[in-house]
Amino acid sequence: MSVDRVRGLYHCFGCGEGGDVFSFVQKTQGVDFPDALEMLARKAGITLVRDPDAARKRGRREAAVEAIRQAVDVYHTRLKKSGEAGQARAYLRGRGYDVDLIDEWKMGFAGLDWDTLTKALKAAGVDDRALLDGGLARRGRQGLYDVFRGRLMFPIHDVRGDPIGFGGRLVVDVDRDSTNNPDAKYVNSAESIVYHKANVLFALNRARTAIAAEGKAVIVEGYTDVIAMHQAGINTAVATCGTALGDGHFDLLRRFSEKVVLAFDSDEAGAKAALRSDELESPFRLDLDLRVAVMPDGLDPADLVQEGRSEELLKAVDEARPLLEHRIEHEVAKHDLSGPEGRARALHAAAEQMTRVNDEIARREYSRFVARLIGVDLSTVDQAIRSRRRRAPDGPNQPQRPLDRAESELLRVILTNPPDMGEISPADFHDERLGAAFAAISGELATTVPGTPVNISTVSDPGLQGLLRSLVLDSRPLPRWSEMQRRVRGRRLDTEIADIEGQLGSLGIETEHHSETLRRLIALQREKRSLGET
């Protein structure tokens, strides 16, 4: 990794990660931008002045979080003391949960009446807006009413530990007029100003320290599975909150570890859950080691712990296998490998999985794995992959060709903004990625004092900024601008010569225009030769 103190940038040439001082603090400390800003301001002795509108929004968030915090206490007290929570307590006893565990996880119970929670919180001074913002109540024809009713409540916290929502398991039947989807086994808080399910993992606030220490996160399917994992000593367990895994979840976990284990109920369920990641980018990048742990006998982690089989649970997690390996085996198992047609179908299915792996070394290793698994030659596997990749449409998961070396060097020099730099245009870049990167900084270049490096932090496109950052922090010696000028002029001459040669082919030899064009071509060729002699 390279750090440029002048520009305030860092870039890792191994994984492509990089950014400025704010993103560095966010990713190393596991905080969001406002928290990173506050940490750096304190370190630098700078007093922050808040924008009034931002302060109002922050005030609404804080009020909603406080309302949810009070709701946690109300629900928790009702679970322990309310007569109508008897079925919930019986359910927890059946799972082996004692009072200490209930207190540790602050489990609660949502009453059966329409406004049990709403009345309690309003009596405590919580206003209607905070109840609505926190997803605790909805507005009906007769006023506010509770979102959750007749459910065992699991508080959900953000990574900092603030309560932001709930997961509710149905344990007591409610009347059919309930708007809280009475048939659903689990209901989670709706999207709100504090709760965004695509970026929330249950128990990450508890697990983050263990994940960072052990270098591994374990994702399970439900709240009780997380609790069971922690009971078994796997303190790195988290769960999604009623939604499929997304890139937002992986980005969240990548703050603390690059290894993630998916622990699902059975081989079939685990395969289906893992296979849902077809549209994800993260699992097929080498900066994330994603594995699958299949639970024995089709049981979920909570069942295994309840049956006293925690050792088997630990073993399954320890023996988790790479996601792609798991997916390939799952696809191959659908086919009869005893005959050539079955092996061919299995090979095409495996090749389909492997086309999304861009790293050549990793793909080569998986080719050997598939060859052994199906019983075919390595060359046959390579041919199947090449065939599949030719048919596959271009997309973000297709491997990209290397950047043009000469044009990369040109852009590196341009970013230093040398005083004697001549005119450069996007047309000087045949590589469209480098041309787009030059276009992105051309406005900044035009307003920057010659001799002052170009500020690339103004580039909003993350891909282009990453490309520019890698060029800025490249430690190789920079070519002289005079040398780059020769290269640019040579490129332009090549283009012009090719155009004129094309024109000559369509002109009659006896015409005056042909003679003029030929003289122009000779002059350009002479200039091109002189460039090579200097």
433-465 pLDDT, tens per residue?
888 888 888 888 888 888 888 888 878 787 888
In a shared domain, residues 77 and 178 = yes
Quick one: tokens of 180? 């809280």
In a shared domain, residues 185 and 224 = no
Specify if 400 maps to a domain. Answer: no
In a shared domain, residues 374 and 434 = no
Specify if 241 maps to a domain. Answer: yes
- The confidence score (pLDDT) of residue 270 equals 46
- The confidence score (pLDDT) of residue 324 equals 85
Percentage helix, strand, coil for the chain under 3-state DSSP, each rounded to 5: 55, 10, 35
In a shared domain, residues 361 and 279 = no
Specify if 357 maps to a domain. Answer: yes
Last residue of one domain, picked from the residues 178, 195, 212? 195
Which CATH number do you get for residue 129? 3.90.980.10
Which CATH number do you get for residue 339? 1.20.50
- The confidence score (pLDDT) of residue 182 equals 55
Specify if 328 maps to a domain. Answer: no
Last residue of one domain, picked from the residues 195, 214, 244? 195
Contact between 75 and 112 under an 8 Å Cβ cutoff? The reply is no
Strand 108-109 relative to strand 2-4: parallel, antiparallel, unpaired?
unpaired
- The confidence score (pLDDT) of residue 261 equals 93
Instruction: Write down the number of H helices and E strands in the chain.
Output: 22, 15
Specify if 287 maps to a domain. Answer: yes
Please name the amino acid found at residue 395.
G
**Residue-range definition of the domain harbouring residue 85:** 53-195
In a shared domain, residues 449 and 471 = yes
In a shared domain, residues 262 and 379 = no
In a shared domain, residues 61 and 171 = yes
In a shared domain, residues 312 and 341 = no
Specify if 329 maps to a domain. Answer: no
* pTM score, whole prediction: 0.64
Closest by Cα among 146, 119, 149 to 134: 146
Q: If DSSP codes are grouped into helix, strand and coil, which group holds residue 156?
A: strand
Q: Which helix (H) or strand (E) holds 253?
A: helix 247-253
- For the purposes of burial, counting CB atoms within 10 Å of the CB of 38, is it exposed (0-12), middle (13-18) or buried (19 or more)? middle
| Residue ranges of the chain whose pLDDT lies below 70 | 51-57, 174-183, 265-287, 389-401, 491, 502, 504-512, 531-534
In a shared domain, residues 181 and 66 = yes
Closest by Cα among 6, 5, 3, 2 to 452: 6
Specify if 35 maps to a domain. Answer: yes
Which CATH number do you get for residue 16? 3.90.580.10
- The confidence score (pLDDT) of residue 275 equals 44
In a shared domain, residues 182 and 258 = no
Specify if 454 maps to a domain. Answer: yes
In a shared domain, residues 181 and 60 = yes
Contacts of residue 225, defined as CB under 8 A and 6 or more positions apart, other chains included, come to 237, 239, 263, 300, 301, 302
Last residue of one domain, picked from the residues 195, 227, 248? 195
User: What backbone phi and psi angles, to 5 degrees, belong to 141?
Assistant: -65, -25
Overall number of domains in the chain: 5
Query: What is the rounded CA–CA span in Å between residue 140 and residue 144?
Result: 6
Contact between 274 and 244 under an 8 Å Cβ cutoff? The reply is no
Q: If DSSP codes are grouped into helix, strand and coil, which group holds residue 339?
A: coil
Instruction: List Cα–Cα distances, 529 to 146, 250, 308, 494, 496, in angstroms.
Output: 83, 55, 82, 11, 14
Quick one: tokens of 117? 């929670």
In a shared domain, residues 156 and 92 = yes
